[in-house]
Amino acid sequence: MLTQSHGVYDMPGKQIIAVFGATGAQGGGLVRAIAADPNGPFEARALTRNPGSDKAKALAAAGITVVAADADKPETLAPALAGAHGAFCVTNFWEHLSAEREGAQASAMARATKAAGVQHVIWSTLEDTRLAIPLADTRLPTLQGQYKCPHFDAKGQVDHVFATEAAPTTYMLAAFYWDNFIHFGMGPRAGENGAYTLALPLGGAKLPGIAAGDIGGCAYGIFRAGASTIGQRIGIAGESLSGADMAAKMGQALGKTVHFLDVPFDTYRGLGFPGAEDLGNMFQYQAIMGEEFQRHRDAKRARELFPALQDFSGWLAANARSMPLG
């Protein structure tokens, strides 16, 4: 039975987790994980700018409470978070490519969680790369005047806002989505003699990766673990693999030959698509940090939080055929 409180409908006896990005990859996975555990302690409240969108309507049709909230309009956040036990906060840099706007959105979310009396926040952050590679370091070109890797730095630089102005927070760091091989144009390309090439700028480093849909499962595990995780930085991955290993596993899954090409960072930065320089710097940062970066994306910890976590072969078994082979 549903009861009305704070202007939205809640299930009695359940603690509400307000989920930003519920119509997207990270938040959507969390909503699904909560719904998949009907005897668990939580109920998802899906937050979206547009409750009339097809994705929001699909959530509502599945019985999820959908509430309007726009992180660009801080005044919309108080009613969306009212009465919530937890809040999952994620921002989408790639919609606008502005580090300033992403920082403002995240800061508004952070402050709203405290004002609403939320007990536990997960902030989906990434490293501020400038802590290891200061602006004066010429290995990575400086972008947007004050960043090395805007979509990382913008998130990392608001960690302190969550630490000081938000409700008690756990910091979750996601790995590279393997789904980028489907949706982000990063999949294998056709070459000569029927073979394919996976081309990424890895600088010889392993790439920690994860099935995007599993990130929400890990977030669910963090909410289940509760207060013990507050203040922790929990990096998650399904597996860390070299470029050659990813290509070989893709080849096995596709029944084709897939070679790996380690693209020079400067070449990748020069590809010209929106965000190419940012991503080129991201990959070079990962290569410079090496094992330390991989240690901060821990598959063992992630699997403890979410036992159904997929490795790359598992992800490929379900998704290899969806990769557009250009």
Residue 185 binds ligand NAP, judged by CB under 6 A: no
Provide, rounded to whole angstroms, the least separation between the CB of residue 99 and ligand NAP: 11
Max intra-chain CA distance, the chain = 64
Among 85, 87, 89, 91, binds ligand NAP (CB under 6 A): 91
Spatial contact of 24 and 58, defined as CB atoms under 8 Å apart: no
Give the number of C-alpha atoms closer than 13 A to the C-alpha of residue 160, restricted to the C-beta side: 4
**Residue for token pair 């969390």:** 30
Residue 247 binds ligand NAP, judged by CB under 6 A: no
Residue 310 binds ligand NAP, judged by CB under 6 A: no
Residue 90 binds ligand NAP, judged by CB under 6 A: yes
Helix (H) or strand (E) holding 217: helix 212-225
Read out DSSP for 95-138?
Answer: GT--HHHHHHHHHHHHHHHHHTT-SEEEEEE---GGGTS-TT-T
Residue 304 binds ligand NAP, judged by CB under 6 A: no
Residues 134-163 close enough to bind ligand NAP by CB under 6 A:
151
Residue 294 binds ligand NAP, judged by CB under 6 A: no
Cβ neighbour number for residue 206 with a 10 Å cutoff: 21
CB closer to ligand NAP, 23 vs 65:
23
Residue 284 binds ligand NAP, judged by CB under 6 A: no
Query: Residue 9's beta-bridge partner residues?
Result: 4
Residue 25 binds ligand NAP, judged by CB under 6 A: yes
Q: Give contact residues for ligand NAP (rule: CB under 6 A).
A: 20-27, 48-50, 53, 56, 69-72, 90-95, 105, 151, 174, 176-177, 180
